[in-house]
Amino acid sequence: MHSLFWLGWIVSFTLIQSIGEGYREAFVWLMYYLITLPVFVAHTYLIAYYLVPDFFLKRKFWGFSLSILLLLIVFSIIELIVSNEVVFKLFSPEKMFAPHYLSIQNIVISGLGNHFIILVFLAIKAVKSWHESKSRKEELVQQNLETELEIYKYHLQPSIILTLVNEIELLGNQNSKRYPEIIVKVSDFINKLLFEAKSELIPLATEVGLIQDFMSIQELALGNRFKTKVIVNGNVQTKVVPPLLIFPFLNSALKVAINSNFLYESTVIIKVERKYLLFSFTLWSENEFQFLVDGNTELTQKRLFYNYNGKHRIIENDDVNFKEISIEIFT
């Protein structure tokens, strides 16, 4: 990139200086910019990689100003001598400066003109540094999000398993005849949970199967206190989704049902269209209940943002005896 920058500078200023003047003039200015290139490179890099970080950014403004002035004088003198005694003397004697050309006025004018390329270089470097810093920040935010979601995922699985263990205990105390059946169902579900839902994206058919198994366990454990329906519309074979996307809400709902003696009805709807996917969950009771507020919506939003940035929506409807949560994904 540095080579391209200086090549662009040589070519562009050679054309600017010699435009309409013919090939000989272009050749003279090309030699000028090639031969004086080390002067401009040294001047530019001393400011960009020494004075700016070691003086300006450390708020040593007096030292920075004096150093800038000193370098302006030194490199302006060098540039005037090289251009007059080497470039113009060899390739275009008519351009040679008059005697005593190393006057203060010429040095200052030449030095200020030379600072143009330095300012352009610093501007490009500043933009490049800003872009790299922005990219690093975005990468760090992305890494933090991925870590948070990974931790949440591994926290969610034990939470679901704990709910199932509580249900096994509940059923064991109430209906020992159905105890072996729920043990088998829970064991099968946990096996699927640990091995089929560990990827970043899983087939929607697998997710639907997990939901159906989970809800059937709840009906078995809670008996007449809990009725559920899982309705699937569309071809679930054509989609993949983040695993356990709606499970935090199902798990929270089951905690509500386990911790009370009210009757509850629940419906889960999965609707699949060509560019649309809907997960909808409702919990209803004749009695008032308090749905747990545990950050599930915020974390689910982050999961959706990670996988479907700008193509998702969560809708919540609440009443004293009703809770509805819908997740819409636009693919």
Closest residue by Cα to residue 255 from 148, 151, 165: 165
> Does the reported pTM lie above 0.75?
no
Closest residue by Cα to residue 192 from 171, 213, 170: 213
Q: Is the pLDDT of residue 63 over 70?
A: yes
pLDDT tens digits for range 212-266: 998 988 888 888 888 999 999 999 988 999 888 888 888 888 888 878 888 999 9
Give the SS3 label for residue 36.
Answer: coil
Give the SS3 label for residue 151.
Answer: helix
The structure tokens listed for 197 are 């839902």
The structure tokens listed for 302 are 């982050």
Higher-confidence residue of 230 and 178: namely: 230
